[in-house]
Amino acid sequence: MSAGGSGAAAEAIPQNNIIAFGVLGGLIGIYGAYFLVGMVGQYMSFIGALGAICGMVWGAAAVRRVASYGLGTGVPSIGMLALGMGVIAATFGLAVGGIAGPVIALVTAAIIGLMIGVLANKVLSMGIPIMEVSMTEIATAGTITIIGLAIAMTGTFDFPVVLSQVISTGYIAVIFIAGGLAILHPFNACLGPDETQDRTLMVGVEKGAIAMIVSGIVATTNPNASGALTILIGIALWYVAFSGFYDRTKRDAYDVVGAGMLPSKEELE
Amino acid sequence: MEPLTGMGVLALMGAAATIAGASEDLESDVGSQSNPNSQVQLAPQMMYPHRIYNKAVSGEPPSNALMCAIGGTTASVLMTTGASAALALAIGAIVAAAIHGTYSVTSYLGRSASQKRFKQPIYLDIIRSHTPVIMGYSFITTFCILVVSYLMVAVLAHPFPLPLLAFIWGITVGAIGSSTGDVHYGAEREFQAVEFGSGLNAANSGNIVRKAESGLRNGIDNSWFCAKFGGPVTGLAFGMTVFLSGWVTAVFDPSRGDAIGWVSVLAGVIIVLILILWNRNMEVAARAAFGTYKEDEAEAEVAA
Amino acid sequence: MIDIAGILMQNILYVILITLGGVLISWSVHFVPVGGAPAAMAQATGIGTGTVQLAAGAGLTGLVTAGAMMEITSSAALVIAAGAVGAMIMMAVTMIVGTWVYVYGVGCPPASAKVKYDPITKDRQDLYVSQGTEGHGLPTVSFVSGVIGGALGGIGGSLVYYALMSVENGLPLADLVGIASVFAVGIFFVNAVIPSYNIGGTIEGFHDPKFKRFPKAVLASLIATFFCALIGVLAIGGL
């Protein structure tokens, strides 16, 4: 799967706004869920998944930017890299950080991402001008995704709980892959010369909602998190996002037909 | 564990893995996923719009890992509430198939819409007819992978949790499927119009076959063709991987001492050596049977 | 707060082993003959899929066998050998079935376009390359290279897993297995992607001119894995 063209992608929403949206939305979601579960009740755990969705949309936007330059290999590789870095940083941050865990995890992820970006350009000579920035963004977005979904599953980011409820049970695998695909799939799914930013990001929201539903399924086993509410909000969000995506598809596509023949020769010229 | 029980479980795992591999490959052929999809993607650009599902769910290994991890997670959640394993695995696979359906639809819509300038239309009947087939195959794949993973955890006492094992086997089945069966789809079915017996000439890139035995060709026609060879051999490949990697330790059980463990390693190495020789054998046989594509220039000069 | 220096000093051996494992994974990817998308159309020599995916498939299969072995033996060498065998079997089976498809399904003999003679069998290659392609299938040299790649990847992955499992800590076994396997998967993916950016899509095996680029990827992996190893050991050792 070779993918991507060459050159910068057109952006309706500037990347800096998306970065702010991802970092702030992610952190607010993570800490909001953490405190509100303690103060209001376990059914607030869904906010963690909303934070994760901010991270995923940011990640999808960053993947879109960097993959537009052509990586020489498939878009999926960068998503796997994001979550590979993210899972290491998230586990480390939560394990050592206590209440500051998510922030430490983000900083660690940013360092790993920056390092890989620098290595990619300096040692591997990939020559992609935004590689350093993008790798930092992608690693951080991956970390937000992982922590946010983990909170949606358990209602907290206290490491002993996360360790026994998410990591030892293997649910981290589904966070890894559902989060990773939510980051890499939007651009991969909309790849092509007439790709548009809002349509791609809408897929990001839609895939984020699916990750939210899955984390809600896991949350049903956990007394400190509310599965039902997370699943319901996830399904509603999925419906809204999918409709939004479908509307944008109809707007962007050459033609949407129920059934029909191929375009005729005259049409193609 | 009784060696006989171990062998029985292993045989069941191998059988489930074989089905999983075959359905994985056919699933990717219906939707045209992974590497051969690069030609389906290229076709409209070369003025060949088509009616083939364009399912680019990030390459097969991650997409299968997603299905299997979701299935494993749901099954594992259900089992902690006391559901029976068979029911839990089936429901897990249903959830996974449904989610895979959404991934497929977004890929088809997204990729086709991004080819506006090449005038590739979106056919809604393709979505309606193909997505259920894709989901059906992905249900079979996920269910069989979950059976393999569940047997490893419950009977063979593998230390990894069910969702993680399912995730890993998902990556593996995707890697095998995209390496073996997909070639049959990409190199033969997509370019059936050119003469049999060679690789795709770069000059023909994008010129995929778009007309079928009756009407216009779609992904279901492709899976019909690949079910004759590509799908079954993919199944054999994944079945062999699961079976052989477990067989060496089932026969030479390392829990009876490190020495026997080393015998199992040796057995694995011998299997690999046999496969190398087999490959060599096929290489020689194929060259003898098919001959060369061009004459040796030096020899041609001598002959003249 | 945890005693960073103390944990690191105590576990410096495991940091080194994890780094070595990461470097081996990175090196192993260069051995695996992947033709990427063109190979799926029998347009390039090698296996018709992406580098990362295939390396991960083989390496993680090795991780599964190594994890099973780790339960029943204390011998490091045996765990690592089991990982290597698991990955080698996966790779060899995939390649042999790939050859079935190329020979019986597509009807083209294995041939390399990068060398005129197969370095192992000394067979002529260029005459068997069909028109307009960069070779197809898996000639013996690529097959052997792939097996070596599988073995190194399996060794690397199980080495990382073994080292993480051996770090001094106060965790119950189930939790330790969980965190070690997740770290191993994470480190594996990072080290599978780095060399694939170095290779840039396709490579035929150790006879390919691109193989000479491996020191760059190994260096990059060395730095990246060392950092990952530090934080991995700190995270597990601090518990």
Domain count, chain B: 2
B111 and B203 in a common domain = yes
What type of residue is B29?
D
B181 and B34 in a common domain = yes
The total number of residues shown for chain B amounts to 304
Name every chain A residue with its beta carbon within 8 A of the beta carbon of B161: 168-170, 173
Name every chain A residue with its beta carbon within 8 A of the beta carbon of C201: 2, 72-73
Facing B265 at nearest CB: one of C40, C82, C144: C82
B171 and B130 in a common domain = yes
Using CA atoms, how far residue B132 sits from B26, B136, C164, in Å, is 13, 6, 43
C185-223 pLDDT, tens digit each: 888 888 888 888 888 778 888 888 888 888 888 999 999
Name every chain A residue with its beta carbon within 8 A of the beta carbon of C1: 96
**Pairwise CB contact (< 8 Å): B172 & C61:** yes
What local confidence, expressed as pLDDT, does residue B277 receive? 94
**Pairwise CB contact (< 8 Å): C194 & A119:** yes
- In the numeric block, which tokens belong to residue A162? 């996360």
In C32-172, which ranges are continuous DSSP H helix? 36-40, 51-72, 76-100, 140-166
CA distance between the termini of chain A: 29
B108 and B242 in a common domain = yes
B98 and B192 in a common domain = yes
Using CA atoms, how far residue B302 sits from B267, B298, B299, C123, C164, in Å, is 50, 7, 5, 21, 64
**C neighbours by CB contacts (3+ pairs under 8 Å):** A, B
Degrees to nearest 5, angle at CA C10 with C8 and C15: 55
What local confidence, expressed as pLDDT, does residue A59 receive? 92
Q: Is ipTM beyond 0.90?
A: yes
**B neighbours by CB contacts (3+ pairs under 8 Å):** A, C
**Pairwise CB contact (< 8 Å): C182 & A125:** no
Q: Report chain A's mean pLDDT, rounded to a whole number.
A: 87
Degrees to nearest 5, angle at CA C158 with B259 and C141: 90
> Which pTM does this prediction carry?
0.93
- Interface A-C, measured as beta-carbon pairs within 8 A, has a size of 138
Residue with tokens 């990827």: C217
- A92 and C232 in contact (C-beta within 8 Å)? yes
- In the numeric block, which tokens belong to residue C24? 């081996």
What local confidence, expressed as pLDDT, does residue A3 receive? 41
For helices C173-199 and A171-189, give the axis angle rounded to 10 degrees. 20
Q: Which of A145, A219, A135 shows the shortest CA–CA distance to A180?
A: A145
**Pairwise CB contact (< 8 Å): C73 & B254:** yes
Q: Which of A78, A149, A174 to mutate to test the interface with B (most CBs of B within 10 A)?
A: A174
- C11 and C164 in contact (C-beta within 8 Å)? no
User: How big, in percent rounded to 5, are the helix, strand and coil portions of chain C?
Assistant: 70, 5, 25
Q: Is the pLDDT of residue A4 over 50?
A: no
C119-177 pLDDT, tens digit each: 888 888 888 888 888 888 899 999 999 999 999 999 999 999 999 888 877 788 888 88
Facing A164 at nearest CB: one of C1, C175, C217: C175
Whether C190 is in a domain gets the answer yes
Q: What is the DSSP letter of C136?
A: E
Facing C178 at nearest CB: one of A115, A124, A170: A170
Domain count, chain C: 1
**Pairwise CB contact (< 8 Å): B114 & A80:** no
Tell me the nearest-neighbour CA distance from A220 into chain C, angstroms. 21
**Pairwise CB contact (< 8 Å): C223 & A120:** no
Facing B199 at nearest CB: one of C43, C124, C173: C43
Q: Which of C238, C89, A258 shows the shortest CA–CA distance to B269?
A: C89
**Pairwise CB contact (< 8 Å): B159 & C68:** yes
SS3 assignment, position B216: strand
B54 and B104 in a common domain = yes
Alpha-carbon B35 to chain mean position: 12
A75 touches chain B (CB under 8 A): yes
What local confidence, expressed as pLDDT, does residue B300 receive? 61
- B258 and C73 in contact (C-beta within 8 Å)? yes
B228 and B103 in a common domain = yes
What local confidence, expressed as pLDDT, does residue A41 receive? 81
- Residue C113 has φ and ψ, to the nearest 5°, of -100, -5
Q: Is the pLDDT of residue A57 over 50?
A: yes
With CA atoms as reference, the chain A residue closest to C177 would be A168
- C110 and C102 in contact (C-beta within 8 Å)? yes
- B223 and B36 in contact (C-beta within 8 Å)? no
What local confidence, expressed as pLDDT, does residue A2 receive? 36
What local confidence, expressed as pLDDT, does residue C239 receive? 73
What type of residue is B131?
T
Q: Which of A154, A262, A265, A268 to mutate to test the interface with B (most CBs of B within 10 A)?
A: A262
Name every chain C residue with its beta carbon within 8 A of the beta carbon of B232: none
C173 touches chain A (CB under 8 A): no
Whether C18 is in a domain gets the answer yes
Q: Is the pLDDT of residue A6 over 50?
A: no
A5 pLDDT band, cuts 50/70/90, is: very low
B97 and B161 in a common domain = yes
Q: Is the pLDDT of residue A247 over 50?
A: yes
B266 and B145 in a common domain = no
Q: Which of A1, A124, A165, A166 to mutate to test the interface with C (most CBs of C within 10 A)?
A: A124
B112 and B187 in a common domain = yes
C235 Cβ contact partners less than 8 Å away, ≥ 6 residues apart: A91, A92, A95, A96, C179, C183
- In the numeric block, which tokens belong to residue B10? 């292993």
**Pairwise CB contact (< 8 Å): C182 & A116:** no
For C101, the domain range is 12-107+136-237
C52-88 pLDDT, tens digit each: 888 888 888 888 888 888 888 888 899 999 999 999 9
B190 and B69 in a common domain = yes
Facing A252 at nearest CB: one of B61, B62, B113: B113
For B275, the domain range is 252-304
B182 and B126 in a common domain = yes
What local confidence, expressed as pLDDT, does residue A42 receive? 81
What local confidence, expressed as pLDDT, does residue A56 receive? 93
Tell me the nearest-neighbour CA distance from C54 into chain B, angstroms. 5
**Pairwise CB contact (< 8 Å): C201 & A170:** no
C84-128 pLDDT, tens digit each: 999 999 999 999 999 999 999 888 899 988 888 888 888 888 888
Whether C2 is in a domain gets the answer no
A135-189 pLDDT, tens digit each: 899 999 999 999 999 999 998 888 888 888 898 999 999 998 999 999 989 988 8
What local confidence, expressed as pLDDT, does residue B302 receive? 62
Q: Which of B51, B53, B66 to mutate to test the interface with A (most CBs of A within 10 A)?
A: B66
**Pairwise CB contact (< 8 Å): B103 & A181:** yes
A7 pLDDT band, cuts 50/70/90, is: low
**Pairwise CB contact (< 8 Å): B187 & C88:** no
Give the residue ranges of chain B where pLDDT is below 50.
Answer: none
What local confidence, expressed as pLDDT, does residue A144 receive? 93
Facing B119 at nearest CB: one of A74, A238, A263: A263
Percent share of chain C, pLDDT over 90: 29
SS3 assignment, position B127: helix
Residue with tokens 């809002």: A198
Q: Which residue has the higher pLDDT, A79 or A134?
A: A134
**Pairwise CB contact (< 8 Å): A116 & C231:** no
Facing B163 at nearest CB: one of A171, A194, A203: A171
Tell me the nearest-neighbour CA distance from A230 into chain C, angstroms. 25
SS3 assignment, position C133: coil
Facing B114 at nearest CB: one of A79, A191, A255: A191
Q: Which of A254, A256, A268 to mutate to test the interface with B (most CBs of B within 10 A)?
A: A254
